[in-house]
Amino acid sequence: MKELHTVLSRQACKRLFHAPKLLKHRILLALVYSAGLRISEVIHLKQADIDFDRMQLHIRRSKYNKDRYVPLSVGIATGLKKYYDACQPREWVFVGKDGHSLMSSRGVQSLMRAAVKGAGIKKKASLHTLRDSYATHLLEDGLDLYSIQQLLGHEHVTTTLVYLHVAQRVAQQAHSPFDTLYPDAGQT
């Protein structure tokens, strides 16, 4: 039996994003969640991949060597601009301790572990948990599976279907679509 993904509540996500002391770390974690990024995608993100005018991120050569676009959150765009002003990154959005090389996967995972502890989260959570939480929260908000598949860059929809099992959706009351075409038809 395949194990279900770990998903953080929205409140836990907020606590997580506020846990790190460094602005760079807070923005990195929030960006991963806000765009459903894989660890390799956030590490290899260049400033040129962020389009503030069109409010989107260009994810290049991801898994299966595919490119995709994902929406850029207004709140994240504001945070990124503050981070750029404070830290002055050059080519890469997030750099390592030396100030110019890529952050390591190990460094990002270490930052995530510290944030999970600092936020008081008891679940076993990795950076990928933010991606799983992103997909699940979108599904709970009513976004269709096909759109979520495209945003995540999944090759097959069957990969995306796992989120149906963890989402806490409120079942809508069954109705006829005719009633939504003519909502006042039953009134006299």
Q: What is the pLDDT of residue 161?
A: 63
Q: pLDDT tens digits, residue range 12-23?
A: 999 999 999 999
Q: For residue 79, what is the enclosing H or E element? A: helix 74-87
Establish whether 15 is a catalytic residue: no
Establish whether 128 is a catalytic residue: yes
> Which is catalytic among the residues 5, 60, 68, 128?
128
pLDDT at 71 over 60: yes
Q: pLDDT tens digits, residue range 131-167?
A: 999 998 988 888 888 888 888 887 777 766 666 666 6
**Percent over 90 (pLDDT), the chain:** 59
Q: What is the pLDDT of residue 39?
A: 95
Q: How are strands ordered across the β-sheet holding 68-71?
A: 50-51, 56-59, 68-71
**Percent over 70 (pLDDT), the chain:** 82
pLDDT at 124 over 70: yes
Establish whether 131 is a catalytic residue: yes
Establish whether 63 is a catalytic residue: yes
**What's the Cα-to-Cα distance from 44 to each of 4, 27, 86, 127, 171, rounded to whole Å?**
28, 15, 20, 15, 39
Establish whether 38 is a catalytic residue: yes
pLDDT at 70 over 70: yes
Q: What is the pLDDT of residue 173?
A: 47
> Which is catalytic among the residues 24, 26, 44, 154?
154
Q: What is the pLDDT of residue 155?
A: 74
pTM of the model: 0.84
Q: Give CA–CA dist 130/152, Å, rounded.
A: 12
Q: What is the pLDDT of residue 97?
A: 84
For residue 71, what are the contacts with CB-CB under 8 A and spacing of at least 6? Answer: 35, 55, 56, 57, 151
* Residues 39-65 as b or e (16 or more Cβ within 10 Å = b): bebbbbbeeebbeeeeebbbbeebeee
Q: pLDDT tens digits, residue range 164-186?
A: 666 665 444 455 666 666 677 66
Altogether, the residues listed in the chain come to a count of 188
Q: What is the mean pLDDT of the chain?
A: 86
Tell me if residue 11 falls in helix, strand or coil. helix
Residue 12 structure tokens: 């836990």
Tell me if residue 171 falls in helix, strand or coil. coil
Q: pLDDT tens digits, residue range 38-69?
A: 999 999 999 999 999 999 999 998 777 789 99
Establish whether 146 is a catalytic residue: no
Residue 69 structure tokens: 């676009």
Q: What is the pLDDT of residue 176?
A: 64
